[in-house]
Amino acid sequence: MRRKIRWFRVFAHDATLPSMMKPALASLLALGLLGCIPKEAFVSPPSSAAAVARPATPAEAAPEKPVAPPVDLTPVPFEIARANFVRDTSARFGIPAAEIEATLAQATVLDSVVTAMSRPAERVKPWHEYRPMFISQARIDGGRAFLAKHREALDKVQARTGVPAELVVAIIGVETSYGGNTGRYSVLDALYTLAFNYPRSGDPAKLEREVRRELFFRDELAQLFALGREEKLDIAALKGSYAGAMGMGQFMPSSYRQFAVDGDGDGRRDLFGSLDDVFASIANYFVKKGGWVANAPVAAPATLAAGREPFNPEDWTPTHTLEELAARGYAPVQPVPAGITATPVSLEGSAGPQYWLGFQNYYAITRYNISKMYAMAVYQLSQAIAGREIPPA
């Protein structure tokens, strides 16, 4: 069902947004819709709380909670908000205002998008329930077949970036079932809906978060116009998730613009029709956004000494030395490189607690989706696709 928008609310990003929902602060500042918004360090993630082409259960809420400055929560009439958007996007990206107007005239609010975004969050599943949503024999077999079919292209990307071929395949498997479900929503309609009509719960305690999410989607709508100009895309024809993520890797427009690369050398970055571009772009995201280290480990199982309490850092940056972790009772159960730093990861397994040490490359996966369980699921799926044994859930 479609309906008209009557009020604008500012929008923004928080850590529960879908995968690849990368923040673009400079863009928000340029919009100038509600006065000057001070600089803030939003954290991405890509790809996916309300996962766009994965099982519907939201990913685990991220522990990273950057301090954000206050925003004006006062509603603005839709007509004013829309006019401001056209003016600011035109000035920001050098796109004629008439062109923006003509495209927005084709956009409508989708009640289905509002409903999907306003669904109550499910409880955070424990690891032994979460993992089967991502790792099944069918998904492993599908990944192995996909890897075998595209081995040459994936090996070239691995040689160039250091990102393993099986990890790129695992991301595609988790995000879109190897390209089988890239989304059925109009990207323009989805972003237009969430930018100007983000759902409100009516809970005053949630208002600022809802405002910030709306602000994020507003910026992504502006980024979509820039993307269409840069890549010669008919943005009114693009299909994706209800949150506006696109292609096999489910890139939001800002992530597409910043991290997509031309893998086949045809002068365009096509995440819809070029597998070479898709493979290269996912790997580039890991390198540029996540700081991927070639030929380095991702994670290692560990033990926690009897009587010691699990250490749960505020975020998953791998800043703790093995000596520091040993003092807290952690020990890897397999050899790891000397001098490496890690973050401890605790999971609720079917047979009791599981302990891991996550290294820089584990952290890189969390940049795609800020969830320790998402990162572990992608890593273990990649290992299974490569024919390596993985532990039980």
Residues involved in catalysis: 175
SS (H, E, C) 176-204: HCCCCCCCCEEHHHHHHHHHHCCCCCCCH
Cα angle: 185, vertex 255, 313; to 5 degrees: 110
Strands 330-332 and 299-304: antiparallel
Extract the runs of DSSP E, i.e. beta strands, from the chain: 2-3, 7-8, 18-19, 47-48, 76-77, 109-110, 185-186, 239-240, 299-304, 320-321, 330-332, 341-349, 352-358
Place of tokens 């301090």: 67
Q: Which residue has tokens 């991502």?
A: 134
Which of 318, 311, 325 is closest to 367 using CA atoms? Answer: 318
**Residues belonging to the chain:** 393
Residue 122, classified by CB atoms within 10 Å of its CB into exposed (0-12), middle (13-18) or buried (19+), is exposed
Longest CA pairwise span in the chain (Å): 68
275 and 87 Cβ atoms separated by less than 8 Å: no
Cβ burial, residue 84 (10 Å; 0-12/13-18/19+): middle
Question: Is 194:115 a contact under the CB 8 Å cutoff?
Answer: no
Residue 147 token pair = 């890897």
> Cβ–Cβ contacts within 10 Å for residue 171, how many?
28
